[in-house]
């Protein structure tokens, strides 16, 4: 009997870890439409699709510059997501983010001194990373190591930095030019086949 109780507990733990929910209530393996709806509830709109990355911006979010969803090509579900906070955020605003991560995920599994990041390992493949990037902004990356090819860090961080250098409407904060003043629905997610 104890063996069955232990097995049930183990299954329950593995299910809860695989459906790990993070910032913006997004979870691994959410269908892209569900994640899109969740971000829309927070006033974020899809502005750009680049392969299997969908970049979201909010016109007037005081703390978050952008959110990027990384979509699994085979299932069109969430493999991970990246939340970039404004570089101009105060220390108090950054502390809110850190406290939220602790509330959601408890103590970090480890601290990597070389990269100066806190890491929460949810299972062998999935993790959350809290770190400052080159422009001084606090970022959170929810990653799945089984889909490393989707997380092309150098390119999308460079793209976000270039986009954030564009003058915006309100104190250096706002959506990129292609979404300013547009009420168009988010673009359809229909990336090219992987063979191209």
Whole-number Å distance between alpha carbons of 70 and 162: 19
What pLDDT score does 151 carry?
85
- DSSP letter assigned to residue 145: G
The stretch 162-188 carries a mean pLDDT of: 42
Number of H helices, E strands in the chain: 4, 8
Q: How high is the pLDDT of residue 162?
A: 64
Domain ranges of the chain: 2-179
- CB-CB contact of 34 with 142 (8 Å): no
> Cα–Cα distances in Å, from 106 out to 109, 116, 120, 145?
9, 18, 9, 21
185 forms beta bridges with: none
Q: Given pLDDT bands bounded at 50, 70 and 90, which one contains residue 160?
A: low
Q: Is the pLDDT of residue 171 over 90?
A: no
Instruction: Please state, rounded to an integer, the average pLDDT across all residues of the chain.
Output: 78
> Which tens digits make up the pLDDT trace of 28-87?
999 999 999 999 999 999 999 988 999 999 988 999 999 999 999 999 999 999 999 999
| Residue 189 three-state SS | coil
9: phi then psi, degrees, rounded to nearest 5: -65, -40
- Phi, psi at 67, each rounded to 5°: -130, 135
pLDDT average, residue stretch 122-130? 96
Contact indicator for 19, 28 with CB cutoff of 8 Å:
yes
CA-CA distance, 57 to 4, in Å (whole number)? Answer: 47
Q: Which of residues 96 and 191 earns the better pLDDT score?
A: 96
Gyration radius from the chain CA atoms: 18
SS3 125: coil
Tokens 């570089």: give the residue.
87
The rounded distance, in Å, linking the Cα atoms of 69 and 150 is 10
Residue 4 has pLDDT above 90, yes or no: no
**CA-CA-CA-CA dihedral for 121, 124, 127, 132, to nearest 10:** 80
């Amino acid at each position: 009997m104890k063996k069955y109780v232990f097995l049930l507990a183990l299954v329950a733990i593995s299910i809860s870890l695989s459906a790990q929910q993070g910032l913006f209530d997004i979870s691994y393996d959410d269908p892209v439409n569900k994640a899109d709806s969740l971000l829309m509830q927070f006033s974020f709109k899809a502005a750009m699709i680049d392969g299997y990355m969908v970049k979201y911006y909010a016109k007037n979010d005081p703390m978050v510059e952008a959110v990027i969803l990384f979509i699994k090509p085979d299932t069109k579900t969430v493999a991970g997501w990246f939340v970039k906070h404004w570089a101009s955020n105060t220390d108090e605003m950054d502390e809110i983010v850190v406290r939220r991560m602790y509330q959601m995920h408890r103590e970090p599994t480890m601290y990597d001194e070389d990269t100066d990041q806190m890491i929460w390992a949810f299972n062998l493949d999935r993790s959350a990373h809290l770190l400052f990037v080159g422009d001084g902004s606090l970022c959170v990356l929810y990653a799945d190591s089984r889909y490393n090819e989707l997380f092309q860090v150098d390119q999308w961080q460079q793209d976000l930095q270039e986009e954030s250098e564009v003058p915006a409407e309100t104190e250096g904060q706002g959506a990129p030019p292609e979404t300013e003043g547009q009420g168009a629905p988010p673009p359809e997610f229909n990336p090219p086949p992987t063979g191209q």
